[in-house]
A = this chain, B = another copy of it.
C-alpha cells in the first residue's frame, strides 16, 4: 500500500479537539427553508403548537434560523465520547485498486451499536426530553437504525422508549427488533391496533405491511395522547440536521488538522440527516463566499425525491397528521417498489437540503441498486468495512468520480460520508450474491400517483 507519510490511514481527533458546538447552516442561508405549516390553517406552526409534539428546547432549535453555533450540552458531549470521534479514513487501498490520482477520504459513522450516524441526534433528542422531565419518547423506525439509536440513548438516560416499527421490517428484521429490546425499548409492529390512525389504516388496507409514513402517524398519535411523552424523529427536521452537523464539524477539523482541501463532498440522501450534517460547515463556507465545493447528494433511482420530485408543501407522513413541510417530495402516498432493497425510502427530503438544492448550491444524482451493491461489494473487499446499502449510494458516486479523475488525470480530493454498516442488511446482500437483484425506475405515471396526493397550498 502506498501511503503518504504525512497522512495516517485513519485520522482520529484527540478528545480535546472534538467539536463542542453544533453548526446551524440556516444562519448563513440567504433564502431560509420555508416554515412548517399547520395543515388546517396553512399558517406557520407556532412554538406552542410544535410544543405539543416536540420537546420545548427542540422546538427552539427547529425554529432557530439565526444562531450559527449552538453549544452542545456537557452530558451530550460525554455521550459522544462513548463512540466519537468517528474516524476520517484515507481510502489508500481503494485508490490503489482504482489506480486513480484522486485522493479519497470517508467519514465512517458506523462504529457504534446502532450501526449508523443516527445516534448523534438520538442522544440530543433524548437528552432534551429528559431535561424537560418527560417520562419517555415515541418514534417510528423502518430498517431499524434510528430505533436502535434512540433505544440506546434512552437506555443510557433512563427514559422510556416506544418504537413503532414498519411491520415488514419487524417481521423480516427480527434481529434489529431484538437489539432494541435488549436496550429496553418496547417495539410495536406498525400499523397496529394501539392507535386510532393504525386502526384506520388497517381497516382501509387490511393486508398492508406498513410504511415509514404510517409508522410516523402512529408514533405522533401515541406521543400526543399520553401525559409526559413527546415524539422524536430521526431525519428531515431542521433540529436533526443541526445535531448531525457534528459529522461535518469533525470532518472539517480532521481535514484542517492535516491541511487537506476537499474538492468534492458526497453524501447519500434519504431524509437528508447524514448529508445535511456532513455538508453543513462546508456549505457554510460556500454560502459565505469563502470557499467553493462540489457537493453531491446521492439518492436511489427507485425513490428519487430530489431528481424527480416536486418542490412543494407536503405532509411528512402517510396518515396526514403532521405539519406540512416545503420540500422535494414524491407525495406522502408514494411507496417505493418492494424490489428496492436498501434504505433511503422516504418520500420527502429535509427542507434545508431541499432549499439548498433548489438554490443551485448542490447537485443530486440518482443511482440504481445493482450498481450500488457492486460498489458496496468492491468497497467491502478492498477497505474491509461492509457498508450499509444506504451508505453505498455515496460509495458508488465516489468511485465514479475517482474513475473520472483517472481519465482526466486530475488529482481531486473526494470526501464522502460512510454512514453505517450493513450487518443487518444481509437479506439484501444475499439477493445480490445470488444474482437475483434487479433495478427499478418508476415511470412518470408511477410518480404521478404520489403527486396527485399533494395538498393544495397556495404560493405566497
Contacts and interface: CB of A to CB of B under 8 A. Distances in A.
Contact of A175 (B14, B184, B426): B426
B381 A81 contact: no
A12 B181 CA distance: 31
Nearest to A78: B1
Nearest to A383: B82
A381 B183 contact: yes
Helix, strand, loop or mixed for chain A's interface? Answer: helix
Contacts of A383: 82
What class of interface size applies to chain A in its complex with B?
35 or more
Give how many copies assemble into the complex.
2
Contacts of A93: 82, 156
A433 B386 contact: no
Interface string A1-35: 10100001110101100000000000000000000
A75 to B, nearest CB: 8
Contacts of A429: 178-179, 182
A90 to B, nearest CB: 10
A144 to B, nearest CB: 11
21 contacts: A10-B15, A10-B81, A12-B12, A82-B383, A83-B384, A111-B111, A113-B384, A113-B386, A115-B423, A155-B381, A156-B382, A156-B384, A175-B175, A175-B426, A175-B427, A178-B429, A178-B430, A178-B433, A181-B430, A182-B377, A182-B380
Interface of A: 1, 3, 8-10, 12, 14-15, 75, 78, 81-83, 93, 111-113, 115, 152, 155-156, 174-175, 178-179, 181-184, 377, 380-386, 421, 423-424, 426-427, 429-430, 432-433
**Which A-B residue pairs are the 8 nearest by beta carbons?**
A175-B426, A9-B81, A155-B381, A8-B15, A1-B78, A178-B426, A113-B386, A423-B423
